[in-house]
């Protein structure tokens, strides 16, 4: 089972529940709402996973690690930037616990060492700040070439894969996507659905990769030059 826990201003932490109520905490950028959720649902944390080193994804690591005596696991390339990290992961490594098996995909671009987690049995991708609904992460450390290649990897996953991203950016991303493809009716339909969800105070994710392939201008870019141009436009949007 996948639990969505809103934290901070617009972040999402994910709690992956396996057998015997054991759970994996993914990107805990804040302690209180995560701990409250764990207690409320009677879950037993077994590890913390991080997609990248930014504070809004790791700020809860130390306190949760100490409280539950569990390891922190994240991108090997960013081990020096994540305090208290016990194990580093690289491309095609796997994490297995309590019936949960996650495959690691390296997706540099937003940060140099960013990774994402693919839960193949559940058809779920935890994409951190690489892929958002109708958007992608800013190129804070990596290049357009790196991010474009990272997105090509994710495009190759099954279209029914459900995307669980790091932030609730969907409405603003969709508003931008409309400026890139004003005649794209799939974007218009998705935006209407997003407004309904937000009106009811519900997350706009997960969203299928198939929907993203129809509505996300960054996944629809034909080559790296087109991608870079769209990314620059979004930075100034």
Positions marked catalytic: 52, 54, 56-57, 110, 129, 167
Write phi, then psi, for 218 (nearest 5 degrees): -75, -35
The Cα 113–Cα 204 span in angstroms is: 27
Contact 29, 8 (CB under 8 A): yes
Pairing of strands 115-119, 2-7: unpaired
| Torsion 157-119-205-88 (CA) sign | negative
Single out the residue of 143, 130, 82 nearest to residue 104, CA to CA: 130
**Ordered alpha helix ranges (H), 85-169:** 144-155
Rounded CA separation 74/82 (Å): 8
Contact (Cβ atoms closer than 8 angstroms) between residue 140 and residue 110:
yes
H/E/C letters for each residue in 197-218?
HHHCCCCCCCEEHHHHHHHCHH
């Amino acid at each position: 089972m996948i639990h969505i826990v809103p934290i901070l201003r617009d972040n999402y932490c994910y709690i992956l529940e396996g057998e015997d109520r054991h759970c994996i905490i993914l990107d805990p950028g804040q302690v209180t709402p995560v701990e409250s959720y764990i207690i409320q649902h009677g879950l037993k944390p077994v590890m913390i996973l991080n997609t990248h080193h930014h504070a809004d994804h790791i700020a809860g690591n130390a306190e949760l690690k100490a409280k539950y005596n569990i390891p922190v696991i994240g991108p090997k390339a960013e081990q020096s930037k994540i305090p208290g990290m016990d194990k580093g992961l690289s491309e095609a490594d796997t994490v297995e616990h309590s019936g949960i098996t996650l495959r690691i995909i390296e997706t540099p671009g937003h940060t140099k060492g960013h990774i994402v987690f693919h839960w193949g049995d559940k058809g779920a991708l935890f994409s951190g700040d690489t892929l958002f609904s109708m958007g992608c992460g800013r190129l804070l450390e990596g290049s357009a070439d790196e991010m474009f290649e990272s997105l090509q990897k994710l495009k190759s996953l099954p279209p029914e894969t459900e995307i669980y991203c790091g932030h609730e950016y969907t409405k603003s991303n969709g508003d931008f996507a409309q400026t890139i493809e004003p005649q794209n009716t799939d974007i218009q339909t998705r935006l209407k659905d997003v407004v309904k969800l937000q009106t009811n105070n519900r997350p706009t994710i997960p969203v299928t990769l198939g929907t993203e392939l129809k509505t996300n201008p960054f996944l629809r870019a034909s080559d790296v030059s087109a991608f870079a141009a769209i990314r620059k436009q979004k930075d100034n949007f």
